[in-house]
Structure 1
Amino acid sequence: MPTIVRIEGTDLKELAALSQELCGREANIACLKDTLEKIVHNPDYILIGARDDQHRLIGSVMGIICMDVVGDCRPFVVLENLIVSERARGLGIGKLLVSYIEERARERNCYYIMFASLAKRKEAHRFYESIGYAKGVVEGFKKYL
């Protein structure tokens, strides 16, 4: 059974390897180290991983708590970089990671969770729908700078 853990600085190399699986290119280790240091000390970032029985990092996800200025001003969560290693897909790891973020969001009285997924990632979209996320509720836009 996988174990959910908070990602720490000591997980740098394993997190970089997962990142490479997601985006297909090597992570900038120096940049990742600096960013990871900031994230682990910010209570509005939830960066977690799943470890297998051999304590290898087989998945990770980040949730970012964002304040809102409309309605009841309840916060919301942006879900980012859900990665499950190819060797661990289909074992419920993604669902376990997202469920953990959902529980933390409820504890913080968040109104909703949102995320974007590349249009070409059809298998990922089927997974998101299978765990209760609705497609077509919003239209996503992105501009690279």
Structure 2
Amino acid sequence: MVTIKEIETDSLAELNELYRELTGELTDPARLKETFASVKADSRYILLGAYVDGELLGSLMGILCQDLVGECRPFMVIENVVVSARARRQGLARQLMTAIEQLARERNCYYIILVSGEKRKEAHVFYEKMGYREEQVEGYRKHLSSH
């Protein structure tokens, strides 16, 4: 049985393994715990997990950003969408995305932004099936440290 809910401290080791699948490296557990506490204390962050029979097998993070143009409605940025390789194609990502979209609607968000790596073609197909469209915008990133 799949349960979508906010991730708590007792799932950090499993979350770290999911992030390893996403990025190729583990996060320092002490740093992860410290940063997680900060995220949990900030209501603008929503960290959802997809649990299958109690095991964390998928996750995503939504971040609410307040806008100052137009109607001054917030928007949401979605980051770190990951489903374990051993649980893909079971609907976990769809359930996570549906849940975060509902939370964005409840918070009166005007739109959702997500960025996906250029080489993640399978993920792009999934996002398009979920109703996300590639827009004619350019994305830029500047890394501020060598880490």
Which stretches in structure 2 are left out of the alignment for 5+ residues? Answer: none
- Stretches of 4+ aligned residues off by more than 4 angstroms: none
1:6 and 2:6 correspond: yes
Query: Is contact 1:7-1:40 (8 Å) kept?
Result: no
TM-score between the two structures when normalised by the length of structure 2: 0.95
- Counterpart residue number, 1:104: 103
Q: Percent identity?
A: 51
Q: Secondary structure at the match of 1:119?
A: coil
> What is aligned with 2:52?
52
Q: Give the drift of 1:136.
A: 2.9
Residue in 2 that maps onto 1:140: 139
- CA drift of 1:137 comes to 4.0
For 1:137 and 1:76, how far apart are their aligned partners in 2? 18
How many residues align? The count is: 144
Deviation larger for 97-106 or 129-138: 129-138
**TM-score under structure 1 length normalisation:** 0.96
Deviation of the 1:75 alpha carbon: 0.1
Q: Distance in 1 between matches of 2:136 and 2:36?
A: 32
Q: Structure 1: state its 5+ residue gaps.
A: none
Q: Match of 2:25?
A: 25
The alpha carbon displacement at 1:4 in A equals: 0.7
Question: In the alignment, is the contact (CA less than 8 A) between 1:4 and 1:49 conserved in 2?
Answer: yes
The correspondence of residues 79-94 of structure 1 with structure 2, limited to 5 A, is 79-94=78-93
The CA RMSD over aligned residues, in Å, is 0.9
Deviation of 1:139 after TM superposition, in Å, equals 2.1
Structure 2 partner of 1:42: 42
SS at match of 2:47: strand
Separation in 1, partners of 2:41, 2:133: 32
